[in-house]
Amino acid sequence: MQDFLESIENSGFSSYIRETPSVLGYSTVLALHTFGMAFLVGLSGVIALRVLGVVPELPLKPLKGLMPMIIIGFWLNAITGLILTSLAARSLLANWDFYVKLVAIAVAIVSLQKMRGYAFRDTSAPDDAPASAEARRWAKAMLFFWGLAVLGGRLTAYATYIRIQSAEAVAVAVILLLLLARYLVRRAHRSHVEARI
């Protein structure tokens, strides 16, 4: 297995991407990976925000139109992810953090599909109707696992003790920010309702 991974790492394509002094090699593949992440997670996150009722003004059904761009983001990430893995296959595949990232991506994709299925199922529902409890559950799962995938991706370059410390720091920061966001969203909704009365 190690020989096979080594042969992938030492292939002409992987060696070129890794070693070329041109910025069109490794850094550009990394940038394309970031573009894919931004569209995949950013736009699926928009659907999740509407499903969770954070942005109730957005009509639900037309958000289905974002799916083509989300799918482009996914494939861009998958292709560039494979290229990046081929550059350091042996060290990445011996890194438990890398598997956390892969599992998180797989669960986030399943959650996205489930959320989409439940959110867009009832074609006769009015645009301002709240999403079903199932759709909300999958939206929360998707956001959590996207967050975990991004965190896993960032931490692969660090030593184990730094990863653990960083993961704890991110968890604490995210919980504090979510509490703040929840307070702000609730306050905004209260003033919105009062303004309507």
Partner 1 sequence: METFLRTWLEWPSVAAFIAKYTWVWPLGETFHFFGIILLIGGVGMFDLRLLGLAKQLPVAAVRRLLPWGVTGFLICVVTGLMFVTGVRANVPMSPYDVIKTNPWLQLKFLFIAFAGLNLLAFYLTGMDRAVDKLGPGDNAPMMAKVIAAASLFFWLGVIYFGRLIPEGL
CB of 39 to partner 1, least distance (A): 6
In this structure, are residues 139 and 48 in contact, taking their beta carbons and an 8 Å threshold? yes
Question: Judged by CB, which is closer to partner 1: 94, or 173?
Answer: 173
- Residue numbers 3-22 binding partner 1 by CB under 8 A: none
Tell whether residue 162 is a contact of partner 1 (CB under 8 A). Answer: yes
Of 77-85, 89-97, 102-110, 169-177, the segment contacting partner 1 by CB under 8 A is 169-177
The two tokens of residue 74 are 């996914």
CB of 144 to partner 1, least distance (A): 13
The two tokens of residue 82 are 């494979």
Tell whether residue 70 is a contact of partner 1 (CB under 8 A). Answer: no
Residue count, binding to partner 1 (CB under 8 A): 45
* Interface pick for partner 1 out of 18, 42, 90, 110 (rule CB under 8 A): 42
- Residues forming contacts to partner 1 in the complex (CB under 8 A) are 23, 27-28, 30-31, 34-35, 37-39, 41-43, 45-46, 49, 55, 57-59, 61-66, 68-69, 146-147, 150-151, 153-155, 158, 161-163, 165-166, 168-170, 173
